């Protein structure tokens, strides 16, 4: 009999909890209709009050309840009650109204709103902590605790409504919101903690409270009530929940709160309510997940339990995919930037939990899940196109997220590091969406995310620790993917005509250079570890490969139209050219330790390829008066030194006993002097042919070095006939050049040259 009586009593409490609140909401709705009818359906989120109505309200309002001496058209009831203003400036930007003069002073704002908001939250937490404390310490039975909290919530609702009628608008609304939140706490505690009521009555009571709170908030156009009611609803499980064995009731409870928030969002377009609902949902989901056995003991979930978790994750994902744009789809209007950002946050949270839940599962399952997400986004984009073709930004962003998921599935299938790949691709999507909506914050977030992906690459170094397949391996593919993502970001900024020219130009140069640096670093590391683990003791091939990689990298920094206009890529290419030239010159002797055919060998061929890349860099920068001669000078000097080394190393003995060509040192010095003379002569001829003064000046420089060599070195190092040959060839070359200058001067070459230079200056 005692149990039956208890059940009857609890049933009455559960049935009274919601209807009482609903009755209050209906009364408020009727009064709101009489004083301020809802705005037209086409503009549900912008209720307006005319200046005349506000003036009448101020004249007719009498706090004491006395009838004003001068009769006015509106009813006395309307005169007594000033129109509530849905203003909650801290949380809402888009629902802001013009602040009244009384609230323009900070002291009054803090006293009326700030302290109220803080006090309501503190009281609600006090209720939650009371339930927790009572559960641990009080001898009072569970029924008494729940009944006490329920009565407190109902009294709070009544007090809030009475004070609202007396004119204490903002305070009354806050107290009413506290009442709704307290009723949430009583229902949740009665079911989840004490097991006093079953699943169906708990869901019914929570649904009734949600409906009542949302109707009350929408009727009065008060986001404060909706916000605090939802905050209390989401905070209740956080305060009293320790560990949920069966999460299904919790998830249903969360979904009920979300539906209420979506209703508010539809009728009043309160973006803050959407955001609170999303944050509350995934906060509770996270608290449950990280207290579950699956997180504490990896792999403890069975396949059935994993399917259960993923099913609810899919429900929340689909709900918050539709919720932000539900109003836009129904009414065929464009969505807001905040809606797209909420969809993006929803996709990020869903991907995170997919990676977390399926971390121990085969990677194919994760790749399949991401493909399904891609299909959902692309399908939803088609729905948006059908409902509102003018909403181009939303459709393009959904396309971008869908393509991101489809692209992500490929590296996941091939078992690349999920975090690095996700951040790299997500950065591209964030930058793209930020450009579409001109959001600097979103773009900055994307750049931070790409920085995190690069950081992940650095954290995973060394690139390899054992033998591997060259190029066809996961580690190298991750570096290439991040490099490609940075390259795409460079393209986005390069093609964005909305940015100022200097900003667009600088950002495109920075990200292009970053992408090439990542590519160059990955190629060098891949080649190094290939020679370290796959081809040990083969350092000669490593040096050859490095020279080729340097040559390719220099071209990628300067080749047009691939590289953007600007100085940064050219500076990077020039610095790389100096480093590479020094590296090749220092290692050229090491490459030629064995016998070889002069000028017809793999080492000289590789050196020639590198030198050609320097001359090509000069050609690609032909419009630049600084870098064109700079690259050409490096190429000319490098070729000069390599020719010298090639001749000397060819004649140098390769045996341990030093045996080889007799008098090889005399021959080497002689041939070097002759080669320098011929090289300088060729440069001089090219300088006249191409009308290039730099080539002629470098020729003079080489002739000067040659004269110093034959008089300071050859006279002491070369004997007999070898010295004669060196001096003879050098002298003949110098005389020939002198005759050439005389001939050109007689024919007016220099007069024409100087005339052209003066015309250019004029």
What is the DSSP secondary-structure string of 676-723? Answer: HHHHHHHHHHHHHHTT-HHHHHHHHHHHHHHHHHIIIIIHHH--HHHH
Q: Which residues of the chain have pLDDT under 70?
A: 1-140, 169-170, 199, 239-245, 293-301, 537, 655-660, 719-720, 750-762
Domain for residue 677, yes or no? yes
CB within 8 Å of 762: residues ≥ 6 apart: none
Question: Any idea of the CA torsion for 205, 208, 210, 214, to the nearest 10 degrees?
Answer: -160
Is 548 within the bounds of a domain? no
The reported pLDDT for the residue numbered 602 is 94
Task: Evaluate whether residue 112 is within a structural domain.
Answer: yes
- Give yes or no for a contact between 684 and 733, defined as CB atoms under 8 angstroms apart: no
Other CB atoms within 10 A of residue 642 CB = 20
Residue 312 in domain: no
Q: Tally the domains of the chain.
A: 2
Residue 415: Cβ within 10 Å count: 14
- Element counts in the chain: helices (H) and strands (E): 30, 0
In a domain, 107, yes or no: yes
For residue 182, what pLDDT is reported? 81
Q: Does residue 727 lie in a domain region?
A: yes
- Confidence at residue 4, expressed as pLDDT on a 0 to 100 scale: 41
pTM over 0.85: no
The residue range of the domain holding 14 is 1-62+75-245
Give the rounded distance of the alpha carbon of 642 from its chain centre.
47
How do residues 310-321 score in pLDDT, each as one tens digit?
999 999 999 999
Peptide bond connecting 462 to the previous residue in cis, omega within 30 degrees of 0 = yes
Peptide bond into 683 cis (omega under 30): no
pLDDT of residue 119: 60
Task: Select from 226, 245, 264 the last residue of a domain.
Answer: 245
Q: Is residue 395 part of a domain?
A: no
Q: So what's the pLDDT on residue 737? A: 84
Per residue in 394-407, pLDDT tens?
888 898 888 888 88
| pLDDT at residue 552 in the model | 96
* pLDDT tens for each residue of 714-742: 777 776 677 778 888 888 888 888 888 87
* Domain annotation covers residue 8: yes
The dihedral sign for the CA sequence 657, 663, 665, 671: negative
Q: Token match 């009414």: residue?
A: 331
pLDDT at 528: 94
Domain's final residue, options 195, 224, 245: 245
Q: What's the confidence (pLDDT) of residue 91?
A: 38
The last residue of one of the domains, among 184, 218, 245, is 245
Write phi, then psi, for 713 (nearest 5 degrees).
-110, -55
Residue 645: what pLDDT?
95
């Amino acid at each position: 009999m005692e149990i039956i009586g208890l059940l009857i009593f609890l049933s009455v409490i559960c049935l009274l909890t919601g209807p009482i609140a609903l009755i209050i909401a209906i009364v408020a709705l009727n009064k709101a209709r009489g004083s301020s009818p809802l705005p037209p359906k086409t503009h549900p989120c912008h209720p307006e009050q005319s200046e005349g109505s506000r003036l009448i309200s101020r004249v007719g309002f009498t706090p004491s309840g006395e009838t004003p001496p001068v009769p006015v058209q509106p009813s006395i009831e309307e005169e007594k009650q000033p129109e509530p203003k849905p203003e909650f400036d801290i949380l809402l930007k888009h629902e802001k109204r013009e602040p009244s003069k009384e609230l323009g002073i900070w002291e009054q704002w803090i006293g009326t709103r700030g302290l109220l908001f803080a006090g309501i939250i503190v009281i609600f937490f006090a209720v939650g902590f009371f339930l927790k404390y009572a559960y641990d310490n009080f001898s009072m039975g569970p029924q008494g605790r729940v009944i006490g909290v329920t009565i407190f919530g109902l009294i709070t609702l009544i007090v809030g409504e009475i004070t609202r009628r007396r004119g204490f608008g903002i305070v009354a609304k806050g107290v009413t919101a506290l009442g709704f939140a307290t009723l949430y706490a009583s229902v949740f505690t009665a079911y989840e903690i004490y097991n006093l009521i079953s699943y169906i009555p708990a869901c019914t009571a929570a649904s009734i409270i949600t409906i009542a709170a949302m109707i009350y908030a929408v009727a009065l156009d008060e986001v404060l009530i909706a916000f605090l009611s939802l905050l209390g609803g989401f905070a209740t499980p956080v305060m009293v929940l320790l560990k949920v064995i069966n999460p299904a009731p919790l998830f249903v409870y969360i979904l009920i709160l979300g539906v209420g928030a979506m209703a508010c969002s539809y009728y009043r377009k309160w973006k803050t309510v959407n955001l609170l609902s999303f944050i509350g949902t995934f906060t509770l989901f996270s608290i449950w997940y990280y207290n579950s056995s699956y997180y504490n003991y990896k792999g403890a979930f069975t396949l059935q339990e994993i399917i259960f978790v993923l099913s609810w994750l899919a429900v929340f994902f689909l709900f918050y995919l539709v919720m932000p744009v539900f109003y836009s789809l129904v009414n065929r209007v464009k969505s807001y930037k905040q809606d797209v950002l909420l969809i993006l946050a929803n996709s990020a949270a869903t991907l995170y939990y997919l990676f977390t839940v399926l971390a121990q599962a085969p990677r194919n399952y994760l790749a399949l899940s991401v493909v399904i997400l891609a299909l959902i986004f692309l399908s939803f984009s088609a729905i948006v196109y059908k409902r509102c073709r003018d909403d181009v930004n939303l459709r393009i962003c959904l396309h971008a997220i869908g393509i991101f998921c489809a692209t992500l599935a490929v590296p996941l299938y091939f078992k690349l590091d999920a975090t690095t790949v996700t951040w790299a691709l997500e950065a591209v999507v964030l930058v793209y969406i930020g450009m579409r909506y001109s959001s600097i914050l979103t773009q900055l977030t994307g750049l931070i995310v790409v920085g995190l992906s690069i950081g992940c690459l650095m954290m995973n170094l060394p690139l390899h620790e054992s033998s591997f397949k060259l190029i066809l391996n996961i580690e190298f593919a991750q570096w290439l993917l991040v490099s490609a993502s940075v390259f795409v970001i460079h393209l986005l900024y390069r093609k964005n005509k909305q940015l100022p020219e200097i900003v667009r130009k600088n950002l495109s140069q920075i990200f292009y250079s970053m992408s090439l640096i990542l590519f160059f670093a990955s190629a060098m590391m891949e080649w190094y570890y290939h020679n370290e683990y796959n081809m040990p003791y083969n350092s000669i091939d490593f040096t050859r490969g490095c020279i080729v990689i340097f040559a390719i990298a220099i071209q990628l920094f300067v080749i047009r139209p691939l590289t953007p206009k600007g100085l940064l890529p050219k500076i990077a290419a020039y610095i790389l050219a100096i480093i590479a030239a020094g590296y090749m010159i220092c290692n050229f002797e090491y490459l030629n330790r064995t016998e070889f055919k002069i000028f017809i060998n793999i080492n000289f061929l590789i050196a020639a390829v590198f030198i050609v890349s320097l001359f090509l860099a000069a050609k690609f920068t032909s419009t630049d008066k600084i870098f064109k001669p700079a690259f050409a000078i490096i190429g000319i000097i490098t070729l000069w030194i390599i020719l010298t080394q090639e001749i000397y190393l060819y004649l140098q003995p390769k045996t341990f006993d030093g045996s080889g060509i007799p008098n090889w040192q005399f021959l080497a010095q002689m041939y070097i002097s002759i080669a320098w003379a011929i090289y300088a002569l060729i440069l001089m001829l090219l300088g006249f042919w191409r009308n290039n003064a730099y080539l002629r000046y470098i020729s003079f420089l080489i002739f000067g070095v040659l004269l110093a060599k034959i008089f300071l070195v050859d006279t002491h190092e070369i004997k007999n006939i070898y010295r004669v040959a060196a001096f003879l060839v050098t002298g003949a070359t110098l005389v020939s050049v002198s005759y050439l200058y005389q001939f050109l001067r007689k024919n007016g070459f220099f007069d024409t040259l100087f005339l052209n230079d003066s015309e250019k200056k004029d």
